[in-house]
Amino acid sequence: MGLLDRTDLVASYYTLTGAHLSRPPRHALAARAEAAAAAGFTGLALAPAEAAQGIPEVRAAVAGLAVPELEPLRGWDSGGRGDEEAVFALAAAFGSRQVTTIQVVDAAVDAGATAVPADLLAERFAGLCARAAEHGLTVGFEARANSPVSTPAQAAALVRASGAANAGIVLDAYHVHRAGVSLPDIAAVADLVVSLQLNDMLAEPRPDPAEDALEFRLVPGEGAIDLPGWLAGLAGLGIDVPIAVEALSREHNARSLEEAAARTAEGAGQALAAARELAAR
């Protein structure tokens, strides 16, 4: 057994909302959970905002589907803890294993409007990880192309500087490939990888990087990434971690909920099947 033989597959939070991430979900949580399960997903990631409706209500809506991941947790880099209470409440309710976080503010040694010294960022990240550890959570840091931390190597540097034993990095296929990160680059940080997010991308990026990332992060198999080759390469590095599917695109959001769930699960399954064939050659 290994990465390519995994049967657990998580629908990332925004994959089935049917809306741009800046807007409220178009589909009710209960409908998303039902569609995810019907498509073959074994879990559904939840965002902190879902806790606002009440934990008992969230439990009822999810209807027994696992919630292994919570995302995204923001604010720690500026010293805030706004969403942590919601994340920890959801983690307690569902026994979640991971919270995925990102960095929004920049790291710098000199003062700036949005800059924070690298050592202070590491300290704040360590604090987040310590608080998450009290709730049994791993903190997965997701590097994002065209952001303050755009590569797995940069994410690994932050994780290592924090000294947190319950922290690692999340590899998002879109962000990894859009940032030009190679398998040899990943090999250097393979020991820190805690989860994957599968998706795809246009062969040529849109002029606006934000638009490209938030409206053209495609369903696996609908873009230009060689996902089978990438997955086989990751498996060759000894990486064996949980897999989620995260699609954020205009076309995907316009689909019916049932079609969105089916296409993402099918795309991931086909990529894994093709990767197994490659690895067996």
Beta-carbon contacts of 172 under 8 Å, excluding residues fewer than 6 positions away, are 142, 143, 144, 196, 197, 199, 246
For residue 218, count other CB atoms closer than 10 A to its CB: 21
HSE on the CB side for 65, CA within 13 Å? 28
Report the C-alpha gap between 26 and 30 in whole angstroms.
12
Tens-place pLDDT, residues 133-188: 999 999 999 999 988 888 999 999 999 999 999 999 999 999 999 999 999 999 99
Q: For the chain, what are the domain ranges?
A: 3-280
In this structure, what is the dihedral angle of CA atoms 64, 74, 196, 246, given to the nearest 10 degrees? 70
What's the fold here for domain 3-280? Answer: TIM Barrel (3.20.20)
Dihedral angle, C-alpha 209, 210, 215, 217, nearest 10 °: 60
- Residue 51: C-alpha distances to residues 57, 70, 74, 94, 156 (Å): 9, 11, 15, 12, 30
Taking CA atoms, 123 is separated from 79, 174, 214, in Å, by 10, 29, 29
pLDDT score recorded for residue 114: 57
- List the beta bridge partners of residue 115: 106
Predicted TM-score of the model (pTM): 0.94
pLDDT of residue 13: 98
How do 9-11 and 243-245 pair as beta strands?
A: parallel
pLDDT value at residue 240: 98
pLDDT at 186: 98
- What value, to the nearest 5°, has the Cα angle with vertex 194 and ends 154 and 233? 80
Residue 173 corresponds to which tokens in the numbers above? 């296929």
pLDDT score recorded for residue 256: 98
Quick check: 218 and 199 in contact, CB under 8 A? yes
List, for the chain, all residue ranges whose pLDDT scores fall below the cut of 70.
1, 105-115
| Torsions phi, psi for 72 (to 5 deg) | -95, 150
Distance CA(190)–CA(168), nearest Å, equals: 10
**How would you label 81-110 residue by residue, b for 16+ Cβ within 10 Å and e otherwise?**
eebbebbbbbbebbebbbbbbbbbbbbeee
CA distances to 7, 68, 230, 239, 240 from 1, in Å: 10, 20, 18, 12, 9
Q: What is the pLDDT of residue 106?
A: 60
The burial class, CB within 10 Å (0-12 / 13-18 / 19+), for 207 is exposed
